[in-house]
Chain A
Amino acid sequence: MKPVRSQTAEYDSKENFQSLFESWSLQHLQAFFFSLGQLCKNPVASFLTAAVIGISLALPAGFFIILENTRYITAGWEGSVEITAFLKMDVDDATAKKLAGKISEMPGIGKVELVTREQALEEYRQLSGFAKALEALDENPLPSLLLIKPTHEEFVEKSAGEILNKLKVIPEIEYAQYDQQWVKRLNAIIDIVKRIVVILAVFLGLAVLIIIGNTIRMLIYHRRSEIEVAKLFGATDGFIQRPFLYSGFWYGIFGGLIAWVLITISLLLLQAPAKGLAQLYASDFSLIGLSLKETLLLFLSGVLLGLIGSWISVQRHLRAIEPA
Chain B
Amino acid sequence: MAFVTGRSGAGKSTLLRLIALIERHTRGQIIVNGQNLERVRRKRVALFRRNIGFMFQDHRLLNDRTVYDNVALPLVIAGYRHQEVRKRVQAALDKVGLLSKQNSLPITLSGGEQQRVGIARAVVHRPTLLLADEPTGNLDPALSWEIMKLFEQFNQVGVTILIASHDLEMIKRMRKRIITLREGRTLTHLGDHHEKK
Interface residues of A (CB under 8 A from B): 1, 4, 6-8, 10-11, 22-24, 26-27, 30, 225-226, 228-237, 239, 322-324
Question: Which of A7, A24, A229 makes the CB contact (< 8 A) with B127?
Answer: A7
Expressed in whole angstroms, the minimum distance between the Cβ of B105 and any Cβ of chain A is 14
- State the 8 A-B residue pairs at the shortest beta-carbon distance, nearest first: A23-B79, A1-B158, A234-B50, A234-B49, A233-B74, A236-B46, A235-B77, A234-B46
- A-B contact list, 5 entries, CB within 8 Å: A7-B126, A8-B51, A10-B78, A236-B47, A323-B20
CB A25 to nearest CB in B, in angstroms, measures: 10
CB contacts (< 8 Å) of B121 on chain A: these are 233
B128 within 8 A of A: yes
Number of B residues with CB within 8 Å of any CB on chain A: 28
Is the CB–CB distance between A23 and B158 below 8 Å?
A: no
B47: A residues at CB distance < 8 A: 10-11, 234, 236
Q: Are A4 and B77 in contact (CB under 8 A)?
A: no
* B69 CB, nearest partner CB in chain A, Å: 10
Asked whether A233 lies within 8 Å of B49 as measured between CB atoms, the reply is yes
Taking a contact as CB atoms under 8 Å apart, the answer to whether A4 and B128 are in contact is: yes
Q: Of the candidates B44, B62, B79, B125, which one forms a contact with A229 in the assembled complex, judged by CB atoms under 8 Å apart? A: B62
**By the criterion CB–CB under 8 Å, are B79 and A7 in contact?**
no
Residue ID in chain A nearest B81 by CB atoms: A26
A1-B157, A27-B79 known; A233-B60 Cβ under 8 A: no
Q: Write out the residue numbers on chain B whose beta carbons fall within 8 Å of the beta carbon of A229.
A: 60, 62, 73
Partner of A23, one of B44, B73, B80, B125: B80
In the complex, which residue of chain B has the Cβ closest to the Cβ of A22? B81
A324 lies within 8 A of B79 (CB): no
Residue among B48, B52, B77, B121 with max Cβ neighbours from chain A (10 Å): B77
> CA A10 – CA B43 in complex, angstroms?
13
Contacts of A24 in B (CB 8 A): 79
Q: Is B3 an interface residue (CB 8 A)?
A: no
The answer on a CB contact under 8 Å between A7 and B128 is yes
**5 further A-B pairs in the complex, CB-CB below 8 A; given A7-B128, A234-B50, A236-B47:** A4-B128, A11-B44, A233-B49, A233-B50, A234-B48
Q: Which of A22, A233, A235, A324 contacts B22 (CB 8 A)?
A: A324
Distance of A247 from chain B, by nearest CB (Å):
15
Q: Whole-angstrom distance between the alpha carbons of A235 and B48 in the complex?
A: 10
